[in-house]
Amino acid sequence: MNEVRIDESWKAALKVDFVKPYWGELTDFVKGEYHTKTVYPPPREIFRAFDLCPFDKVKVVIVGQDPYHGPRQANGLSFAVGEGIPLPPSLKNIFKEIEGDLGIKTLPSGDLSRWAKQGVLMLNSVLTVAAGIPASHAGKGWEHFTDSAIQILNEKRDHIVFMLWGKYAQSKGLVIDRKKNLVLASGHPSPYSAHLFIGNHHFSQCNEYLEKHDMSPINWE
């Protein structure tokens, strides 16, 4: 699997995974799904989170579950949607919290590449999904890959802010060393648990931590 189309820094960091048996099985499955079904995101955007945020540039990790399964929604970034697509409820609540926490008005676009380019790794646990069938690609191997990404960041980097919203994201973050990184955990921003998310002040806490460790804060607009 030397032909994995992913940013070179991540290809080097995760090279051990690309030769593991699960990776070949996952690749065969995903290729078969794209050939026979409608699958999101578009193939060129599967690794977009990694491509926009190289390994050595990561300041913040926001963990999601799997991509949106509607047309033109998924774009390879957790919680984000394609340009011009109406904001899903979870993203609306994220923007609401940013405005309440930082007192700034977010831009209307849900693309969020503007965050990724500043060092925010918008990481879904599962990177692909069949149209109209949520979690259809769960349990096929993506979770091993994204667990490895979190683990290697934990091992090789310091002073990263991990935003873990909901029990699923928090379970993926159990390996994180809290002594050398900041873990911010709360409820998920979906309407079902927004009361456990709104008011968490994660965005201001994130920027305070980054500045404390001599890094530029994230512009969350």
Q: Look up 66 and say whether it is catalytic.
A: yes
Which member of 66, 101, 177, 214 is catalytic?
66
Q: Could you give the CA distance from residue 107 to residue 23 in angstroms, rounded to a whole number?
A: 37
Q: Could you give the CA distance from residue 87 to residue 189 in angstroms, rounded to a whole number?
A: 13
Residues in Cβ contact with 205 at an 8 Å cutoff, skipping those fewer than 6 apart: 161, 182, 184
Among 150, 154, 122, smallest CA distance to 47 is for 122
* 78 contacts 138 by C-beta, under 8 angstroms: no
Give the E-state strand segments of the chain in sequence order: 39-40, 60-64, 120-124, 129-130, 161-165, 182-186
**Separate counts of helices (H) and strands (E) for the chain:** 8, 6
Main-chain phi, psi angles of 40, to 5 degrees: -120, 150
Burial of 86 by CB count in 10 Å (0-12 exposed, 13-18 middle, 19+ buried)? exposed
Among 15, 63, 72, 51, smallest CA distance to 186 is for 63
Q: Which residues are catalytic?
A: 66
